[in-house]
Amino acid sequence: MTQLSVNINKIATLRNARGGNNPDVIKTALDCERFGAQGITVHPRPDERHIRYSDVVQLKDILTTEFNIEGYPDERYMKIISEAKPAQATLVPDAPDAITSNAGWDTVKHESFLKEVVSELKRYGTRVSIFVNPSEKMVEGAAAVGADRIELYTEPYAHQFNTNRFDAVRPYIASAQVAAGLGVGVNAGHDLDLHNLRFLKGSIPNLDEVSIGHALVCDALYFGLENTLQLYLRQLRD
């Protein structure tokens, strides 16, 4: 079964909007685990507008499922990984002021930089995933720099899904097949929801993990967190 990692950034955004500790980010993460999530994802940005450094410090010692920390591999991010030593580090090419991740790495252009970063991260015993567009060339580049996995950027898939889902998923299938041939694992994330998740999963047999935050938190407003987790997990069952 493809693993579900819940991105709790939006929970932290809600907390920070009012101050205080409501909702409790740490409790929410533990509840997600209790409700069946196989992982927790955070993306601590430099301005701490959602996940804070202190959240990472607390989470690293209490999570019992996979901890995935996303971010641009600057000095701050590398320090966080060296201290938290999460199961997985997902590298994204975001600018510090980006609202959300909106493109994958050019793994060919940035080969030298990524190779150095991947090598350092692996010294902490952390699996490394590189966020890429659904491009066979970019997948090959990720393998060349030593990535253990790729995370396919799925916004284009989600955008085209209602128009032509078969055309939308085609480059993702091809990219996943290349990854499998190179011994690289496949994750996916961005704009995945209850409408488009099952089709993606059914189209990519070697899909290891999806990271979902925004849509899942929005659905939880209507369905409740526990029920929402079950609905998403149901989409991922074979």
pLDDT digits (tens, 9 = 90+) for 108-157: 999 999 999 999 999 999 999 999 999 999 999 999 999 999 999 999 99
39 forms bridges with which residues in the sheet?
5, 66
Residue 159 bears catalytic tag: no
Using alpha carbons, list the distances in angstroms from residue 235 to 58, 159, 202, 210, 232.
30, 19, 9, 11, 5
Average pLDDT (74-95) is 95
Residue 190 bears catalytic tag: yes
- Tell me 147's DSSP state: -
Residue 43 bears catalytic tag: yes
What's the rounded Cα separation, in Å, for the pair 148 and 128? 5
* Active-site annotation holder among 33, 66, 70, 209: 70
- Reported as a single tens digit per residue, the pLDDT across 177-201 is 999 999 999 999 999 999 999 999 9
pLDDT band of residue 103 (cuts 50, 70, 90) is confident
**Residue ranges of domains in the chain, CATH in brackets:** 3-236 (3.20.20.70)
How many Cβ atoms are within 10 Å of 236's Cβ, its own excluded?
Answer: 19
In which residue are the tokens 């995945």 written?
A: 192
Q: Which amino acid is at 39?
A: G
What's the rounded Cα separation, in Å, for the pair 152 and 170? 13
* Active-site annotation holder among 43, 50, 66, 151: 43
Question: Is the pLDDT reported for residue 96 higher than 90?
Answer: no
- What torsion do the CA atoms of 122, 171, 194, 215 make, to the nearest 10 degrees? 60
Cis peptide before 23 (omega within 30 of 0): yes
* Active-site annotation holder among 33, 50, 66, 190: 190
